[in-house]
Amino acid sequence: MPAMKRIKDLRCITFCCSLAFMLTLISCKGVEDTMPIVMDNPIAFGFPMDEIVLDGDLGDWSEDMIRYPIKNVGMGDLPTGKEDFSSNFRIGYNVVQNAIYIGMEVVDQSIFINSDGNSYWDAQDGLELYLDLEHLKTGSPITQYAAYGEDRLVFGDKTSWENVRMKKKMTNEGMTVEWRIDLDQRIVMGSSIGLDLGIIDRDKDETFSWISWGKGTQKLTNPERCGTILFVDSGTLLGTIEGKVGKSNLPSESQIPISLRISKTDNPRIWVQTMADSLGNYMAQLPLGQYTVDIPSKLVAGDEDFYRIANVKPMSFSVKKGISNTPPKLEPQLAIKPDLIPKRGILHDFSEERRNQVDEFVRAYQKFYNIPGVSLALIKDGKMVYHKTYGVKNTKTGEPVDEKTLFEAASITKPVFAFVVLRLADKGIIDLDRPLYKYYPFEALEEKFPEYKKMTARHVLIHKSGLPNWGVRLENVPGERYGYSGEGFEYLKRVVVQITGKPIEQLLDEELINPFGLYHMEFSDSEELRKVVSSGHQGNQPTNWEIPKEAGMAFSMHTEAKAFSDYALTLLEQKGLKPETYKEFMTIHTESTKEYWNDPEKREGAGLGIFIRESDYGDIFNHGGNNGDFKCLFEVYQDLRMGYVCFTNSETGSSLTQDLWRFFVEGK
């Protein structure tokens, strides 16, 4: 997915986007024996080329070079036709300059550059280049170079455009673009790199498309979603392979994508990845020689959970001239998921033996779901009885998680902020039922959505504000229906700051952290936080997204399980608020859609900034968090006076947190 300048939008869209399925296309240059065939996988051949002038004009490029279509719409609207949008690229390299050249042709009937200063990635036409120069099978850092309007941004492994240059030229049909990439390492014939190109097509009628060469979004943190470039000589002979994978060992109702890895026998670092179609067929074009093909073990996102494809060992084959090359048939199957849920939750009779059972449970999930780090705390009889950290803060550095390591709490920030708002309400500083615009207008809504003036603090806390999760618009009239909204909490934050005349972090200190002796709660970037913060992960790769510069009351808290359990116990003991306020706080005001809980007889929904669900063991207050690369959950069973707090630093962490209620309390 393209990177974005607003951290909350980044997290929101990362959350809302499913893990899209991988790759596409192929092509090359040459005549007769070297002429590649355009195929539906993301493999291309870079051939040697003469020096060109980098000016955006493709007139000095050879017309013989094959154009590779850029056609996979990862987000937004499908183009209405070739005139609306179509694009291709050519690629070559110059050994003397040690440079890669890319020439793009973009047909676009409406080139739109935003002139109001809004340079966000999706507000105008833009270009993106993704580079994986190490191209390691274990995953390697991606750098994204982005040109949004006149802005030049870089995300990932590098910090500047020092080795990358780009020029574009407007034409009657759209534009032409030239890229030059100067490599630090020498270009070696037969070597491979990962590369992808993305294009943002924003038209004046506000239609929007994000199109890339390879299939899939979130390429910055998923190297396998980039295509592969093989550097070959102009006389390289090519052969086409046609292979098949079995599907009999996979669930018949699921469309699990199978990716295959094809490696050169004499140099396994030269490799490409391709995808099998829904029938198990795949094709690729490769230089002649000896290869192996295997199916690497990997996680794949399903509708409700992640599957793990079991590793299929490499099998050898030859690529010879022609189209009759057939690799051995491979038989993929799913790895067995952890099944450690007891009949009765282990917290009911917690003991030393149960501690070992907890560790076994967490480590099994970590291994199966590639969860780098976990922070866990358990509550029993109204006190914390167990705390442990597991794994690493960052898969690249290997630095271990410890009790000082802070995780992004994501939306668990909301009930913390809600507590502060309720404290202010108890003191008469804010009226939960007074329209918020009377305290502080939301000017961006004034003209198009005047009905926003019905919105109150209570509407925000019970998720009936009418605002979307993120976005400056109304989706329904405030108070009308449930609609989870981070945007509402951010508006309420601005209101509270206006009423009190105090920065939000000062209010958090005065109303929560200091009075109740809490600690390890950080809400914005600082030198101290950077020393202890965990990296988030996607595809088991560190995301290295920025820490928010300003505190966001919907998403920005950083904490860890032991410290946060003190806050959970503050709520369990009903400290700091009036009894009648706690009753409102912990009552379902708005029923919500069930996510993990499968008992239709039980209700769940929003209290005043926290979620409540019914169970056979009484009411539970809880909240989850999802910033894309961090997943977390806490739950406290009020009658049992037991619960758990769990933070993970991975997009797969939900596979662990969604089973905690069964493992610790309710059993199978």
Residue 40 pLDDT grade (very low, low, confident, very high; cuts 50, 70, 90): low
Flag whether 400 is in a domain. yes
Question: Do 318 and 376 reside in the same domain of the chain?
Answer: no
Q: What does the DSSP 8-state code read for residue 518?
A: -
5-16 per-position pLDDT tens digit = 333 333 333 333
Do 146 and 52 share a structural domain?
yes
Q: Which of 234, 258, 275 is the last residue of a domain?
A: 234
> How many CA atoms does the CB half-sphere of 577 hold within 13 Å?
23
For residue 598, what are the domain limits? 346-411+519-666
DSSP code string of 291-322: EEEEE--EEEE-SSSEEEEPPEEEEEEEE-SE
Within 8 A by CB and 6+ apart from 316, the residues are: 265, 290, 291, 292, 328
* pTM of the predicted model over 0.85: no
Least Cα distance to 589 among 477, 446, 457 occurs for 457
Q: pLDDT by residue (tens digit) across 186-219?
A: 888 888 999 999 999 988 777 889 999 998 888 8
Mean per-residue pLDDT, 56-81: 92
Whether residues 226 and 262 share a domain: the answer is no
Cα–Cα distance, 212 to 203 (Å, whole number): 17
Q: Residue 601 and residue 559: Cα distance in Å, rounded?
A: 34
Is 1 inside a domain boundary?
no
Q: Is residue 142 part of a domain?
A: yes
pLDDT at 385: 97
* CATH code for the domain of 250: 2.60.40.10
Q: Are residues 30 and 133 both part of a single domain?
A: yes
Rounded distance between C-alpha atoms, residue 546 and residue 119, angstroms? 18
Would you place residue 158 in the very low, low, confident or very high pLDDT band (cuts 50, 70, 90)?
confident
Look at the chain and report how many structural domains it folds into: 4
Identify whether residues 384 and 271 lie together within a single domain: no
Amino acid at 297: S
Say whether both 188 and 61 belong to one domain.
Answer: yes
Q: Note the pLDDT of residue 234.
A: 86
Domain boundary residue, one of 294, 309, 335: 335
Residue 513 lies in a domain: no
Q: Is position 509 within any domain?
A: no
> 3-state DSSP call for residue 230?
strand
- Which pLDDT value is given to residue 12? 36
118 confidence band (pLDDT: 50, 70, 90): low
Q: Are residues 586 and 613 in the same domain?
A: yes
Using one digit for the tens of pLDDT, what is the confidence trace for 370-428? 999 999 999 999 999 999 999 999 998 999 999 999 999 999 999 999 999 999 999 99
Q: Which of residues 190, 218, 234 is at a domain's end?
A: 234
Proportion of the chain above pLDDT 70, given as a percent: 91
Is residue 514, in this structure, part of any structural domain at all? no
So what's the pLDDT on residue 595?
54
Contact 398, 614 (CB under 8 A): no
Q: Is 478 among the domain residues?
A: yes
Report helix, strand or coil for 581: helix
Task: Tell me, yes or no, whether 96 and 15 share the same domain.
Answer: yes
| pLDDT > 90? residue 306 | no
Query: Does 216 lie in the same domain as 179?
Result: yes
Same domain, 141 and 185: yes
Burial of 382 (0-12, 13-18, 19+ CB in 10 A): middle
DSSP 8-class letter at 161 = S
- In a domain, residue 2? The reply is no
Whether residue 395 is found in the same domain as residue 431? no
Residue-wise pLDDT tens digits, 218-240: 888 778 889 999 999 988 888 88
pLDDT reported for residue 599: 67
Helix (H, G, I), strand (E, B) or coil at 323: strand
Q: Three-class SS string for 392-417?
A: ECCCCCCCECCCCCEEECHHHHHHHH
Residue 37: per-residue pLDDT: 55
Question: Number of C-alpha atoms within 13 angstroms, CB side, residue 534?
Answer: 36
DSSP collapsed to 3 states, 38-101: CCCCCEEEEEECCCCCCCCCHHHCCCCCCCEECCEEEEECCCCCCCCEEEEEEEEEECCCCEEE
pLDDT band at 25 (very low <50, low <70, confident <90, very high): very low
CA distance 461 to 484: 10
Encode pLDDT of 483-534 as tens digits: 999 999 999 999 999 999 999 999 999 999 999 999 999 999 999 999 999 9
| CATH number, position 22 | 2.60.40.1190
* CATH code of the domain in which 366 resides: 3.40.710.10
Residues 42 and 172 in one domain: yes
